[in-house]
Structure 1
Amino acid sequence: MSRPSKKHHFVPQAQLRHFAADTERRFLFVFDKQSDRSYHTSILNAGSENDFNTISLGDSKWNFEDLFQLVDAQSARLVAEIVSRRSLAWLTLDDRVTLADFFATQLLRTHFSRTTPKRVAEQLRQMMRQIGYDPDRDPDMAMPTDTTLRLGAVKAFLNRGGHAATLLRLTPALYATGGEYRFIISDHPVGCTNAFPYGGRGLTSQGILVLLPISPDLTIALHCPTIVQRYKLVASADLEPERRARMLRYRDGLLSAEPIEVDDDVVLNLNRRQVAQCTRYLYAPTDAFDFAREFLKEHPELRTVDTHLKMGEMGHAPPPNPRLPAGTHLVILGQTDHCMLAIDEIDGSGEGITARTRQVDLLAQVAADTSMLQAELYVDGQPRRGMGQAMIECFGEPSSGWFRVVHRDPGLRALSTQLDAKLR
């Protein structure tokens, strides 16, 4: 009987082989962002840690590395086929499910599945101290042990079906390099961003974009349906010719599932995201990490990353969103769509959020949405007010652009009106 392996991979070897430096696919280049050092190593050693998937329980140890065997085998076959065919058009529903499961697994199997809960626990304990409460006196607020963190990671992996189902609603596309730069991969290769400046980075966020490089010249990008819908409307949009051509290229790739050629700026931006989101290591077929060294000089705080979750400080307002433009804006999120209205005037004495915009056509579309809306008011990127279960009411001449955001439920609306009157 063979002994269980001690070398456990948080990035599967099958995926790393697509970034190999040799034709036998045994070696690649590694960049350590903490030391700025790059070196040549075997794929067996890359993306791994001894006993990473081992839990000590009393005098015994439980090796749960084998839990990943099935998903690793299925994803290896699927990714190899995608790289070979350079297309997603052939994917069946079962293949789509396998792809979503692969993304979900890769999100949950890295160091962050353990370091994030630990960091959250530390921050909660610090908050308790700020209000004069000693967390050491409360057993429920004790720092999680290494065993607890590893068991939590196993539980998250076993319960990954919710993540996979959420990812399955997204539309996959292939990004292909079209210039000098090539994609790299990291020790946390799945990245989440948002196509809209006001959008969140949760998997259920409107406008979410989830990316995973699968070879030096291919990245799989999962697009929120609202992104796809906007690309479908580009033919009738009033755009500059260059931007229209670029958006039509993306639209055609999303609809055909054939590769979308991206330029060097996009590749470099996605590679920088790999630098920012990883714990420590980057992997590539060549020692081409100068861009990472330059990026880390500008952002030294990214040399050590143990969580992607940011908690606000107790007693302080949330920080401004640097991606939002200056001025006053109203972000409106619906069940199937979202938008941002530029606000020219606020009536502080009006009901709910009473305001005026010059974007009257967009306002009319939002007001016609019969679903429950969520509205968030920002001034120079700083959140000022929010309202859920809301609707938009236009009043006055349609061309005036005046409207109010109020609760759709009459009872909540009446209560909100009373509260606003007391606060004035």
Structure 2
Amino acid sequence: MANSEPKKQHYVPQFLLSNFTQGKKKRLHVFDLKSKTSFVSHVRDVGHENNFYHHSSNGNQMEFALGTIETEVAPIIDQILNEETVANVTDQQREILCYFTLVQILRVNAVREMLTEFSQLMLDEFVDEEVEPNSQAEALLKQLSAANSKETSIDMLWKTPEQLLPHLMNKHLSLLKAPKGDSFLLSDNPVVKYNNLHREGRGNLGLALKGIEVHFPISPRFCLCFLCPEIVQDIRNKVEHHHLEVVLGGKPAQDLTEALKLLNQIDKKTTKTITKEHVIHHNSLQIVHCTRFLYSSKGDYSLVNEMLEYNPNLTNKIRLQKQ
């Protein structure tokens, strides 16, 4: 009897890749950062590795679990694209969308690379150390390996999304639209985090940190954005405080048009058409955070080439730095 278990296992779902194709043949443009070349491919042949989710203890259970999640979320994303708004997304749909977004953050090669780098940093600490047999240190060393990074990342997928869900549900969901003539790129690490607030000597991309935004392109024209509620509340407080100063203190009124537009867009969940410069910003995040492959509906990789010329190290990322 033929083996019915899937061999090609996608870390970027085919339904999402299909949104970036043109024509009926489901083909899209792909850029390989390592070889600095581009090609055209069918969605079934990109964004995957053979047996990517195969685990020594439970086989391909994760692959089947991910298929169930994708079946639930695909109609929600189709609805958003067809209606061009998130205003009609129900609370239950929003929870499914947030859960899928967190799963997508964790299911990619970038996570495995980070785990492997962390393992190597830890191993380097024991280079000149004598480790006692049957000790906790010895057990840790056995766990720290590139092979184990795969299974660790799969184990994380079973429990971590649910643990992180409250942090993403707490954010304001909005939809961004690219202006005519511009389009969003997608990468093999498609959900990216960004924070304008700098934390000296510490990372600033944790989901619970103030200022964190989560960006997720779902088509060449549209990108989901999860905004920090604390930043939105800060803007709201400043607007209200300024109005009080004008009314009670006689201070001259300032132009708050942009702040009011932002608050109105968030409150009414209206879709925001962003500028060309903002599209470049979003696409640059996809390029910086990708592992190797970028996907495009148009095949325009001028921004990628510019960034590679400025920083050739984009082809050889180091995700963790020893302090």
State whether TM-score is above 0.5.
yes
Between structure 1 and structure 2, the one with the greater Rg is 1
Shift in Å, 1:65: 1.2
Query: Is residue 48 from structure 1 mapped to residue 48 from structure 2 by the alignment?
Result: yes
Q: Partner residue of 1:357? A: none
Query: Is residue 287 from structure 1 mapped to residue 299 from structure 2 by the alignment?
Result: yes
> TM-score, normalization: structure 1?
0.67
Does the CA contact (< 8 Å) of 2:191 and 2:216 recur in 1? Answer: yes
- Which of 70, 73, 88 is residue 71 of structure 2 equivalent to? 73
Once residues 239 and 74 of structure 1 are traced to their aligned partners in structure 2, the CA distance between those partners, rounded to angstroms, is 49
Does the CA contact (< 8 Å) of 2:5 and 2:60 recur in 1? Answer: no
Query: Is residue 298 from structure 1 mapped to residue 302 from structure 2 by the alignment?
Result: no
Q: Partner residue of 1:195? A: 196
Shift in Å, 1:15: 0.8
* Letter of the structure 2 residue corresponding to residue 252 of structure 1: N
Does the CA contact (< 8 Å) of 1:187 and 1:280 recur in 2? Answer: yes
- Which of 249, 253, 261 is residue 261 of structure 2 equivalent to? 249
The number of residue pairs the alignment matches comes to 304
* Letter of the structure 2 residue corresponding to residue 225 of structure 1: P
SS in 2 for 1:55: coil
Q: Partner residue of 2:89? A: 91
Once residues 39 and 62 of structure 1 are traced to their aligned partners in structure 2, the CA distance between those partners, rounded to angstroms, is 30
* Letter of the structure 2 residue corresponding to residue 210 of structure 1: V
Q: Partner residue of 1:180? A: 181
Query: Is residue 261 from structure 1 mapped to residue 273 from structure 2 by the alignment?
Result: yes
* Letter of the structure 2 residue corresponding to residue 75 of structure 1: V
Does the CA contact (< 8 Å) of 1:108 and 1:157 recur in 2? Answer: yes
User: Cα deviations across residues 31-73 of structure 1 (Å, max 9, x unaligned)?
Assistant: 111111011000111211111112346xx95563112011111
User: Cα deviations across residues 237-258 of structure 1 (Å, max 9, x unaligned)?
Assistant: 58974xx433333222111111
- Which of 126, 129, 133 is residue 129 of structure 2 equivalent to? 133
- Which of 90, 97, 122 is residue 124 of structure 1 equivalent to? 122
Shift in Å, 1:17: 0.9
SS in 2 for 1:232: helix
SS in 2 for 1:88: coil
Shift in Å, 1:81: 0.6
* Letter of the structure 2 residue corresponding to residue 154 of structure 1: I
- Which of 207, 214, 217 is residue 218 of structure 2 equivalent to? 214
SS in 1 for 2:19: helix
Does the CA contact (< 8 Å) of 1:122 and 1:143 recur in 2? Answer: no
Query: Is residue 229 from structure 1 mapped to residue 230 from structure 2 by the alignment?
Result: no
User: Cα deviations across residues 329-387 of structure 1 (Å, max 9, x unaligned)?
Assistant: xxxxxxxxxxxxxxxxxxxxxxxxxxxxxxxxxxxxxxxxxxxxxxxxxxxxxxxxxxx
Once residues 310 and 131 of structure 2 are traced to their aligned partners in structure 1, the CA distance between those partners, rounded to angstroms, is 37
User: Cα deviations across residues 65-106 of structure 1 (Å, max 9, x unaligned)?
Assistant: 112011111111111111111111111110111111011110
When you count strand as a share of all residues, which structure comes out higher?
Answer: 1
SS in 2 for 1:38: strand
* Letter of the structure 2 residue corresponding to residue 78 of structure 1: I
* Letter of the structure 1 residue corresponding to residue 214 of structure 2: V
* Letter of the structure 1 residue corresponding to residue 89 of structure 2: L
Does the CA contact (< 8 Å) of 1:19 and 1:215 recur in 2? Answer: yes
Does the CA contact (< 8 Å) of 2:120 and 2:144 recur in 1? Answer: no
CA distance 1:225–1:21, change in 2 (3 Å): same
* Letter of the structure 1 residue corresponding to residue 229 of structure 2: P
Once residues 86 and 74 of structure 2 are traced to their aligned partners in structure 1, the CA distance between those partners, rounded to angstroms, is 15
CA distance 1:21–1:239, change in 2 (3 Å): farther
CA distance 1:274–1:121, change in 2 (3 Å): same
Once residues 75 and 148 of structure 2 are traced to their aligned partners in structure 1, the CA distance between those partners, rounded to angstroms, is 33
Does the CA contact (< 8 Å) of 1:112 and 1:306 recur in 2? Answer: no
CA distance 1:141–1:53, change in 2 (3 Å): same
* Letter of the structure 2 residue corresponding to residue 187 of structure 1: D
Q: Partner residue of 2:30? A: 30
Equivalent residues in 2 for 1:339-354 (5 A)?
Answer: none
Q: Partner residue of 2:164? A: 163
Q: Partner residue of 1:276? A: 288
Shift in Å, 1:205: 0.3
RCO greater where, 1 or 2, for CA within 8 Å and sep 6 or more?
2
SS in 1 for 2:183: coil
Does the CA contact (< 8 Å) of 1:175 and 1:221 recur in 2? Answer: yes
Shift in Å, 1:260: 1.1
Shift in Å, 1:261: 1.4
* Letter of the structure 2 residue corresponding to residue 224 of structure 1: C
Does the CA contact (< 8 Å) of 1:135 and 1:142 recur in 2? Answer: no
Which consecutive residues of structure 1, in runs of 5 or more, have no partner in the other structure?
314-424
* Letter of the structure 1 residue corresponding to residue 88 of structure 2: W
* Letter of the structure 2 residue corresponding to residue 221 of structure 1: C
Identity over aligned residues, as a percent? 22
Shift in Å, 1:133: 2.2
CA distance 1:235–1:96, change in 2 (3 Å): same
CA distance 1:110–1:240, change in 2 (3 Å): farther
